[in-house]
Amino acid sequence: MTEESNHSGKLFVISGPSGSGKGTLTRALIERSNAVLSVSSTTRGAGPNEVDGTDYFFVTKEEFESKIAAGDLLEYAVVFDNYYGTPAGPVKKLLAEGKTVVLEIDVQGGLQVFENMPSACGVLIVPPSEKELHRRLVSRGRDEAKVIEKRLEKARWEIETAHSSGKYLFEIVNDDLETAINELVNIVTGS
């Protein structure tokens, strides 16, 4: 019996650089479909509007490392100096119930999921151009120039790595938001 043989639901991995709009697209997908979003664990601090258990499970580095040691994570990665990971139990339970499950995770994590669960479907969200990505990162006013440069570097790396892995079979260029949402909903509900 393979790892996946008792799973009947579909698993989607949505990745893309920060500023690609993948968070907005994923939220719209959840509102417009029956897909369920997995809640990740992270060691980063909660933002002012973020709720523990809804946006993330906010945990300490020690707690995160004990989850790694216990094999409780489907995948994990260090992103911008913090741990992020997908709790395996809830995802497997939802899939066994036949639900469509969505992971919004970075490419490092996505590649681990494709190794462990080869039937997972990868969707890469990309900005229309690097210039536009730069403009979006500047206009949200969250980061200083040095941090923006770091995010652009990671964006280049993520897109190149996703492309060369050949595992992200779908790619959505997030230019017009409504068009991009429709594409994502069609991929997740139609395939």
Q: Which residues bind ligand 5GP (CB under 6 A)?
A: 18, 40, 44, 75, 77, 79, 84-86, 104-106, 108-109
For residue 6, count CB atoms less than 10 angstroms from its CB and return exposed for 0-12, middle for 13-18, buried for 19 or more: exposed
Q: How far is the CB of 158 from ligand 5GP (least distance, A)?
A: 8
Task: Outline where the chain has alpha helix (H).
Answer: 22-32, 61-70, 88-96, 107-116, 130-139, 145-165, 177-190
Find, among 108, 110, 126, 124, the residue nearest to 38 by Cα. 110
The tokens for 111 are 């590649």
List strands edge to edge, sheet with 101-104.
Answer: 36-37, 101-104, 11-15, 121-126, 170-173
- Of 53 and 190, the one with the shorter C-beta distance to ligand 5GP is 53
User: Of the two residues 79 and 173, which places its CB atom closer to ligand 5GP in the complex?
Assistant: 79
**Please, are residues 168 and 15 in contact by the beta-carbon 8 Å criterion?**
yes
44 or 134: CB nearest ligand 5GP:
44
Least separation in angstroms between CB 45 and ligand 5GP: 10
In single-letter form, the type of residue at position 157 comes to: W
Smallest distance, ligand 5GP to C-beta of residue 55, A:
8
Cβ closest to ligand 5GP, residue 109 vs residue 122: 109
Question: In the complex, what is the shortest distance from the CB of residue 83 to ligand 5GP, in angstroms, rounded to a whole number?
Answer: 9
* Pick 7 or 17: Cβ nearer ligand 5GP: 17
What is the closest distance, in whole angstroms, from the C-beta atom of residue 1 to ligand 5GP in the complex?
27
Of the candidates 68, 125, 126, 93, which has an alpha carbon nearest to the alpha carbon of residue 11?
Answer: 93
Q: How far is the CB of 60 from ligand 5GP (least distance, A)?
A: 16
| In the complex, residue closest to ligand 5GP by CB | 109
Amino acid at 117: M
Question: Residue 40 or 174: which CB sits closer to ligand 5GP?
Answer: 40
